[in-house]
Chains A and B, each alone.
Chain A
Amino acid sequence: MAYSPDRSQYPQKKADGTLDIDLSSGKYLKLWQGPQHPGITGNMSIEITVCGDEVVEGITHVGYLHRGFEKLMERRSFIQCFPIVCRICVPEPDFNEYCYAAAVEELAGVEIPERAKWIRAMILEMGRINSYLMYLGGQAGALGQAVISQWATYVRDLMLDRFEELTGARIYHMFIMPGGVRDDLPIGFKKRMQDTLQEIEKTMQDIYSVMFCNAVFHKRTEGIGIIENRWLDRYGVTGPCIRAAGVPRDVRKDQPYLVYQHLDFDPVVGENSDIYTRADVRRRDLLLSVDLIRQILSRMPEANGSTMATIPNVLHWKIAPGETYVRGECSRGEYGYYLVTDGSGYPRRVNVRGPSYTHAMSLFERMVVNCNIADVAALLVSLHTYPPEIER
């Protein structure tokens, strides 16, 4: 068959629509990227078939981290579920705590104190900054810029210090619980948080200069990994990935929760929907989070009593039959909890909707076709996926 510049011609399709890949022909090679690989986000793997240096098929394999959280929760009381949900997502665990707590409160008819809502929003923004910092390190690392991850880790560590003094823990905070938050802000927290935000902004300037103004980074990311507009709804694209395509979709703005209706901001959007635009949208979104934390700290009502609502005895807490879905905008897109109760002391069903579920599976498998093998890692990282959300 004569060479055709139309790369979508390879490989040809069989009559039933499946790809005609004959490994014994010597034309194709099958490679595994992951589960232990620097070009993979977390513990998952991609089964790639290449023709030369071009990917003709990519299949995502997950299951290396399955812990059966959804099943575990069906055998635990509502309060027993609270300390395990954060473990579903390591880099940004707070959304699990918030979505679970908000779903339980909604079905149980619990109204949380106003100040707890502001503290929750601040924690979620702090978690978002941490997650973006990890992403920036990973995105730059996938293209050979190791120093960015070191700088990002430095400022992330400062934010982890703030988490530690606020919640007592650095990674899994277990701070947002059904009924409110565990405690109020420590004395002097606002000042230390302002200092941390200032340091983050300063480091982000350096990251911008070294990473985003770098000619190699431009060359390797512009025009590559484009998510076409017609794929957005078909593949359930949310978060920075959809905003980088020019759609101002942000749950914080579209369906405000907690206190976001009291904050002044516009969703960060891009235009080109390529790897560079997605990275830039996340960088600007990180700076937006810095601004939102400042707004929260200045507008938060003064401490007035407990940050916890009165909830029933948690050992005997039964919730009337019902079902709900609660969502939030995490750093990767729409995060949600679908909770069904049956009147007993245990959840009937909990389903966790993480943005990686659609991004890393169907969307990535669609996007990786006709991609150069050297760009696979950068493409996957640009979708900002965390495997534990997929397999829970």
Chain B
Amino acid sequence: MQALYDKLKQHYALGELSEQRADLCFFTVPREHLSSLLLYLRDVEGYTHLVLLTAVDWIEQNQFQLTYLVNNRLSANDIGIRVLIDRDVASMESIHHLWPTAATYQRELKEMFGIDFPGSPRIDEDFILEGWQDLPPYRRDFDTLKYSEQTYRDRPGRVTHDPASHMKQQLYPDAED
């Protein structure tokens, strides 16, 4: 992996190499180099299998990390390519022209994180959350508890008890405190 990294580094502004296992490494690349790097890895180095495309919300740094994981079937190893994008202007170049299946991943990221991929097929169509109007739910600042309390109500007649006092009342109604 180190040899390939050194080779790539001559042409791309790669971040530090992080070798997680002998068959898995990660590095960061500037967003403008991503498409060209993926094309090179796919067509020249044999990383033909797009394993996944997902995002991590680093809200503290006001950034999204996009992770493109590609696999080389012959040499049986994976490269995870990280791209950091601004959380306020969450938009990234689409790679559906490299792997048509990426369009599905990008549709999900648009819905769940609000990251746009202009030009990606059906990018604005609902994927899982039909008619969702709220903040994209996989963002860290989406408050699931608040959403649940606003959206759902307890069934009428449903009462919540403190377990300790309730069981004491049920089992030992005459006991003194």
Which chain A residues have a beta carbon within 8 Å of chain B's beta carbons?
62-63, 66, 68, 70-71, 74-75, 106, 233-236, 238, 249, 254-255, 322-325, 327, 334, 336, 338, 340, 348-349, 351, 353, 357-358, 361-363, 366, 391
Q: In the complex, which residues of chain B have a beta carbon less than 8 angstroms from the beta carbon of A362?
A: 100-101, 103-104
Q: How far is the CB of B139 from chain A (nearest CB, A)?
A: 10
Q: Are A351 and B54 in contact (CB under 8 A)?
A: yes
Q: How far is the CB of B97 from chain A (nearest CB, A)?
A: 10
Q: How far is the CB of A160 from chain B (nearest CB, A)?
A: 30
The contact of A70 among B49, B67, B138, by CB within 8 Å, is B138
Q: Are A353 and B76 in contact (CB under 8 A)?
A: no
Q: How far is the CB of B64 from chain A (nearest CB, A)?
A: 11
Q: In the complex, which residues of chain A have a beta carbon less than 8 angstroms from the beta carbon of B129?
A: 63, 66
List 18 other contacts, CB 8 Å, given A236-B49, A324-B21, A325-B80: A71-B142, A74-B140, A233-B49, A234-B100, A235-B100, A238-B49, A323-B67, A334-B51, A336-B51, A338-B52, A338-B69, A340-B56, A348-B56, A349-B55, A351-B52, A351-B54, A353-B51, A357-B104
Q: How far is the CB of A16 from chain B (nearest CB, A)?
A: 12
Q: In the complex, which residues of chain B have a beta carbon less than 8 angstroms from the beta carbon of A66?
A: 128-129
| Assembled-state Cα–Cα distance A236/B116 (Å) | 22
Q: Are A338 and B137 in contact (CB under 8 A)?
A: no
B31 is an interface residue with CB less than 8 A from chain A:
no
Which chain B residues have a beta carbon within 8 Å of chain A's beta carbons?
20-21, 23-24, 26, 48-52, 54-57, 67, 69, 73, 76, 78, 80, 99-101, 103-104, 126-130, 137-138, 140, 142, 144
**Smallest CB gap from B74: residue in A:** A254
Q: In the complex, which residues of chain A have a beta carbon less than 8 angstroms from the beta carbon of B21?
A: 106, 324
Could you give 11 example pairs across A and B, Cβ below 8 Å? A63-B130, A71-B142, A74-B140, A236-B99, A323-B20, A323-B80, A325-B51, A334-B51, A361-B101, A366-B100, A391-B128
Q: By DSSP majority rule, is chain A's interface helix, strand, loop, or mixed?
A: mixed
Q: How far is the CB of A211 from chain B (nearest CB, A)?
A: 31
Q: In the complex, which residues of chain A have a beta carbon less than 8 angstroms from the beta carbon of B69?
A: 325, 338
| Assembled-state Cα–Cα distance A349/B82 (Å) | 14
The total number of A-B Cβ pairs within 8 Å is: 85
Q: In the complex, which residues of chain A have a beta carbon less than 8 angstroms from the beta carbon of B20?
A: 106, 322-324
Q: In the complex, which residues of chain A have a beta carbon less than 8 angstroms from the beta carbon of B78?
A: 325
Q: In the complex, which residues of chain B have a beta carbon less than 8 angstroms from the beta carbon of A325?
A: 24, 51-52, 69, 78, 80
Q: In the complex, which residues of chain A have a beta carbon less than 8 angstroms from the beta carbon of B128?
A: 62-63, 66, 391
**Smallest CB gap from A247: residue in B:** B73
Q: Are B144 and A358 in contact (CB under 8 A)?
A: no
| Assembled-state Cα–Cα distance A305/B21 (Å) | 29
Q: Which of A235, A324, A340, A351 has the most CB of B within 10 A?
A: A351
| Assembled-state Cα–Cα distance A263/B67 (Å) | 33
**Smallest CB gap from B140: residue in A:** A74
**Smallest CB gap from B54: residue in A:** A351
| Assembled-state Cα–Cα distance A366/B21 (Å) | 35
| Assembled-state Cα–Cα distance A336/B50 (Å) | 13
**Smallest CB gap from B48: residue in A:** A233
| Assembled-state Cα–Cα distance A358/B21 (Å) | 26
Q: In the complex, which residues of chain B have a beta carbon less than 8 angstroms from the beta carbon of A327?
A: 51
| Assembled-state Cα–Cα distance A205/B13 (Å) | 58
Q: Are A363 and B127 in contact (CB under 8 A)?
A: no
